[in-house]
Each structure stands twice: as structure tokens, then as C-alpha cells.
Amino acid sequence: MADSAANTIRLNKFLAQSGVASRRGADALIAEGRVTINGSVAQAGSQVAPGAVVAVDGTPVSAERLTYMVLNKPVGYVTTLSDPEGRPTVIDLLDVLERVVPVGRLDAMTSGLLLLTNDGDLAYKLSHPKHGVPKTYRAIVRGLPGSAALRKLTQGVHLDDGRTRPAEVTMIAARSGGAELEITIKEGKNRQVRRMCAAVGYPVMELERIAYGPLTLGRLGVGTCRALKPHELEALQAAASGG
Ligand code: URA
């Protein structure tokens, strides 16, 4: 988990990530006094804060590598970058220097897979309704929906802001007082799954996103994040291009 109070990165790591030199090479540059942070000559062990200007021989170095993270969002965290109610934000859980932002939203009370990136082009394409990237949720609902309710969810439900597009809905298990459903939608209306289930009379008690396009949560622990693997990024790029 990141220490949000000190969301800094060691200078040699920063330089290595920026492709300037290996960490050892970066150490040599620092020792030679060729590296500055915000205009002051850096020392071995210096830390770089977000937004700091690092320069080598007077030439600024950019840290903004394209970064793609997947987080298993816990319940209670907001996906906005700050919250007027003071709730914790998902950014507090990241340990990257790059300014990644969530792709789409999850409600504070929804847990599960959240993609974060600083690749604005990919984020835009993934969120565009044209591509209809599927998102799969595990919902625990109150009551036991029968086939009529499941059919309505599948075919489309009238909500205040329009009818939902066809969804895939599978009854996974009946539980005491409720049922576990797996629901895949290809759009992203606000609180869509909660509103769909409530509209057919089965309010959601727990909601977790378990897949986003080709990405799945796998064994990622709640509250932890990891970088996307190259094959995951490729699959995501294909999904964002309608592939
Ligand atoms: N649908 C919801 O109701 N909430 C979410 O967070 C995501 C989808």
C-alpha cells in the first residue's frame, strides 16, 4: 500500500523508470552532481515528489511513462480523486508515482476490479459506448429472483435515464434470504447494476466487479494493486478498438 503522505519515489528509481539510465548509472549521475530536483543539486537517496522537476545536465526528464494498474477496490473507498465527505480514495492504495486515474467509476460501496491509467487515449476508448466493453459483476441480491425477473434483467430494464441494453445474467447460487447473480453489462450508466436489480424487485446487498473486458481479478487481494501484464494490456487495447 502506498504511503499517501509521502507519495515519493527514490531518485535513482525515478531516473531508471524514465529510461535515463540504470539505477546504478543514475547513482553515478547523482554522485557527479549532474541531477537537479526543482533546480537544486540532488543527493544520493533524494526522493522525488509528484510534480517535481527533475533534470539531468539541465534537461528536464519526464516521469510520465504510460502506466496501467489494476486494483481490487475495497468497499468504502471512492473512485474520485478527492471526496468532500473525507472518505478514502482509491488513489491512497496505489504505489505509483504516475498520475493514473480510474477508468470509469465504481460506487463507494462496490468492491472489485478497477483499472487505473494515465493513458488518456485508452481510457477514452474503453469508456466509449461505441465499443461496449463488457463488465461483469457478482451481485448478492435480497430475495430469490425467478425466471421472469432474470429475463427482464437480461432483456433490458426501464430506468429513469432510459432502457438498459441486453445483459447476460446467470443465477450462481441461492443463499439464505438472497441470491448470488453474475451480471455482465456493456454500458456504464450510473449505479446501473444496483438500479437494474432494484427495478425488478431484488435490491443489491453486495456488489463486486469481477471482470473488465478481458481483465479478471484473479487472486489480487482486496486493497492491493498490480501493473497489467503485457498480454493483458494487448487484450485490453484490442477490446478498446472493438476487437
Ligand atoms: N453498477 C453499480 O450499481 N455500481 C457500480 O459501482 C458499478 C456498476
Centroid of ligand 1 to alpha carbon of 120 (angstroms): 22
CATH number, domain of 204, equals 3.30.70.1560
Q: pLDDT digits over 95-135, tens only?
A: 887 778 899 999 999 999 999 988 877 888 898 888 889 99
Q: Are residues 154 and 40 in the same domain?
A: no
How much is the mean pLDDT over the chain?
91
pTM over 0.85: no
What is the CB neighbour count within 10 angstroms for residue 223? 15
Residue 73 has pLDDT above 80, yes or no: yes
What is the CB neighbour count within 10 angstroms for residue 54? 21
Give the domain extent around 40. 2-61
Q: How confident is the model at residue 6 (pLDDT cuts 50, 70, 90)?
A: low
Q: Please say whether the beta carbons of 189 and 104 come within 8 A.
A: no
CATH number, domain of 28, equals 3.10.290.10
Assess whether the C-beta atom of 135 lies below 6 angstroms from ligand 1. no
Q: Are residues 121 and 174 in the same domain?
A: no
Residue 62 has pLDDT above 90, yes or no: no
d(CA 228, CA 102) in angstroms, rounded, equals 14
Assess whether the C-beta atom of 100 lies below 6 angstroms from ligand 1. no
CATH number, domain of 123, equals 3.30.70.580
Closest protein CA for atom 4 of ligand 1: 191
Ligand 1: atom nearest CA of 194 is: 3
d(CA 79, CA 44) in angstroms, rounded, equals 36
SS3 of residue 83 by DSSP: coil
Q: Are residues 86 and 200 in the same domain?
A: no
Start-end of H helices in the chain: 11-17, 23-31, 120-127, 147-155, 192-199, 230-240
What are the residues facing 162 on neighbouring strands?
159
d(CA 87, CA 151) in angstroms, rounded, equals 37
Assess whether the C-beta atom of 187 lies below 6 angstroms from ligand 1. no
Q: Are residues 198 and 164 in the same domain?
A: yes
Centroid of ligand 1 to alpha carbon of 195 (angstroms): 8
Residue 3 has pLDDT above 60, yes or no: no
Q: Please say whether the beta carbons of 89 and 81 come within 8 A.
A: yes
Q: Are residues 185 and 202 in the same domain?
A: yes
Residue ending a domain, choose from 15, 36, 61? 61
Q: Are residues 138 and 205 in the same domain?
A: yes
d(CA 53, CA 39) in angstroms, rounded, equals 8
Q: pLDDT digits over 131-178, tens only?
A: 889 999 999 999 999 999 999 999 999 999 999 999 999 999 998 889
- For residue 62, what are the contacts with CB-CB under 8 A and spacing of at least 6? 18
d(CA 216, CA 193) in angstroms, rounded, equals 18
Q: Are residues 151 and 180 in the same domain?
A: yes
Q: Are residues 183 and 74 in the same domain?
A: no
Q: pLDDT digits over 229-239, tens only?
A: 999 999 999 99
Written in H, E and C, the secondary structure of 16-42 is HHCCCCCHHHHHHHHHCCCEEECCEEC
Q: How confident is the model at residue 63 (pLDDT cuts 50, 70, 90)?
A: low
Centroid of ligand 1 to alpha carbon of 116 (angstroms): 17
Total count of domains within the chain? 3
Q: How many residues does the chain have?
A: 243
Q: pLDDT digits over 84-96, tens only?
A: 999 999 999 998 8
